[in-house]
Chain A
Amino acid sequence: MFKAKIYVNYKPSVLDPKAEVIKNTLSRLGQTNVKDVTVGKYFEVLLEGDRDAVDQQVDALCDQMLANVNMEAYRYSLEEV
């Protein structure tokens, strides 16, 4: 069994208005050394199977469902559990 830890974020070319608001608010609160904020989504998916098959499967489900690759990028790691 593997636990896939999946992170989905906007691509750098996409302005994320939520991240901008958080960054600006942190600055206003005196956290002046905060230079950038990224907001994303985190998923954990448990899968049965061998590592290679699971790896391909997770890549496909990220590409087809968990991320919209028009505006988002994804990365993941597999942890045997």
Chain B
Amino acid sequence: MKAAVLTFPGSNCDDDLLWAVKDIAGADAELVSAKSESLEGFDLVLVPGGFSYGDYLRSGAIAKFAPIMTALKNFADNGGYVLGICNGFQILTEAGLLPGALQWNTSLEFICEPEPLKVVNNRTAFSNQYAQNQAITLPIAHGEGNYYADADTLSEIEANNQVVFRYADNPNGSLNDIAGLTNKAGNVLGMMPHPERAVEALLGGTDGLGVFQSLIAATKGAAHAAN
């Protein structure tokens, strides 16, 4: 299994994400520039947090036009696994790979705290190593993490069981306490909390490791099915 960690101008969690998936979880992985136009040879694409293109216009609004995004859309359309974290989540919503949008936290504050979450769907490629309804704690660090979707979209998301992580104590005003959700097909997930910042006891916890272990298990399963 080989993972690509995308790097946009202004990404600042790319090295942490590479460390988590490669050095801690043990997958083959490398950084891929947003200027690249190919994702050939990768089984998983990780879109990191940060402030891509300075968050100019809106978070993720400029990143969606980066050269790599055409390859990313094709990769996702063909069933490839894509995980967007924080700014990566914002980029995926802007690019239309995930429903809804992220707006300013209702408090208007940038919140940087460990946040209790619940894994509300463990039957996904991103959460299969967690128990259903497992309580976990992951750090959040964002000013614009307030998940919004119109009423029809929200109903559809819930009916399809697309929500994977919910906040136990909603910090930012997200509708339905949504902290992370997948697309309808289940191969693209966006989440505001940072699993890559919770993969070693030294960092304060290892609750995020399950996300990467789940993806490694899922890609092995996919390769097995393909063979």
Contact = CB atoms under 8 A, between A and B. Distances in A.
A14 B148 contact: yes
A18 to B, nearest CB: 6
A32 interface: no
A17 B57 contact: no
A79 to B, nearest CB: 23
Contacts, number: 38
Nearest to A71: B101
Interface in A6-20: 10, 13-18
Contacts of A65: 57, 61, 65
Residue of A13, A15, A17, A21 contacting most chain B CB atoms (<10 Å): A17
Interface in A50-79: 65-66, 68, 70-71
Contacts of A18: 104, 108
A66 to B, nearest CB: 7
Contacts of B151: 13
A71 B65 contact: no
Given A14-B103, A17-B105, 12 more contacts: A13-B150, A14-B148, A16-B103, A17-B104, A17-B107, A17-B173, A21-B108, A66-B57, A68-B58, A68-B61, A68-B94, A70-B101
28 contacts: A13-B151, A14-B103, A15-B106, A15-B173, A16-B103, A16-B104, A17-B104, A17-B105, A17-B108, A17-B146, A17-B173, A18-B104, A18-B108, A21-B108, A65-B57, A65-B61, A66-B57, A68-B61, A68-B101, A70-B93, A70-B100, A70-B101, A70-B149, A70-B150, A70-B153, A71-B101, A71-B103, A71-B148
